[in-house]
Amino acid sequence: MMSKTMSKNLILLAIAEIGGFILFYYLIVWYIHPDMLLSNPYYLVILVLLFLTLLYYILYVSPRLFSQSTGLNIFRCQKKFLKKSECLSYGFFIIIAIIFIYIIIYLKYDTLFPHVNMYSLLLKFFFYLISAVVQDLFFFAFLFMRIKYLFNIMLPNIKEEEQMMFNVLVFVLLFTLFHLPNYPLMALSFLFALGAGILYYYFPNLCLIIGMHAFLGTLLHRVYQMHMKIGCYYLTEEGKGFFRKLIPFIDTIISQNW
Q: In the predicted model, what is the mean pLDDT of residues 127-138?
A: 91
Averaged confidence pLDDT in the chain: 84
Summarize the confidence of residues 42-46 as an average pLDDT.
Answer: 85
Q: How far is CA 206 from CA 76, 145, 196, in A?
A: 6, 12, 10
Question: Of 30-44, 139-153, 177-191, where does mean pLDDT reach its minimum?
Answer: 30-44
The pTM of the full predicted model, rounded to 2 decimals, is 0.86
Distance CA 97, CA 195 (A): 9
pLDDT (0 to 100) of residue 169: 95
Average pLDDT, integer, range 236-257: 58
Whether residue 102 is predicted with pLDDT greater than 70 in this model: the reply is: yes
Give 64's contacts (C-beta < 8 A, 6+ positions apart): 70
45-75 per-position pLDDT tens digit: 888 898 899 989 988 898 888 877 776 677 6
Query: So what's the pLDDT on residue 240?
Result: 58
86-103 mean pLDDT: 92
Range among 69-73, 75-79, 119-123, 210-214 rated most confident: 210-214
CA–CA gap between residue 202 and residue 23 (Å, rounded): 28
Asked if the model's pLDDT at residue 16 lies above 60, the reply is yes
Among residues 165, 170, 213, which one has the least CA distance to residue 192? 213
Indicate the domain borders of the chain: 4-257
Predicted local confidence at residue 190, as pLDDT: 96
Per-residue pLDDT band at 2 (split at 50, 70, 90):
low
Whole-number pLDDT of residue 249: 55
How high is the pLDDT of residue 121? 84
Least confident of 108-122, 125-139, 171-185, 240-254: 240-254
> What's the whole-number mean pLDDT along residues 209-235?
89
What does each C-alpha distance from 74 to 11, 18, 145, 218, 236 come to in angstroms? 21, 18, 11, 24, 36
A 10 A CB-CB count for 116 gives 13
pLDDT at 94 (0 to 100): 94
Q: What residues have CB less than 8 Å from 136, skipping those under 6 apart?
A: 206, 209, 210, 213
R_g over Cα of the chain: 19
Average pLDDT (220-228) is 89
- The residues, any chain, with a CB within 8 Å of residue 190's CB and separated by 6 or more, are 172, 175, 176
Average pLDDT on 96-101 reads: 95
* Relative orientation angle of helices 183-202 and 206-218, to the nearest 10 degrees: 160
More confident residue, 204 or 216: 216
Range 147-153 average pLDDT: 88
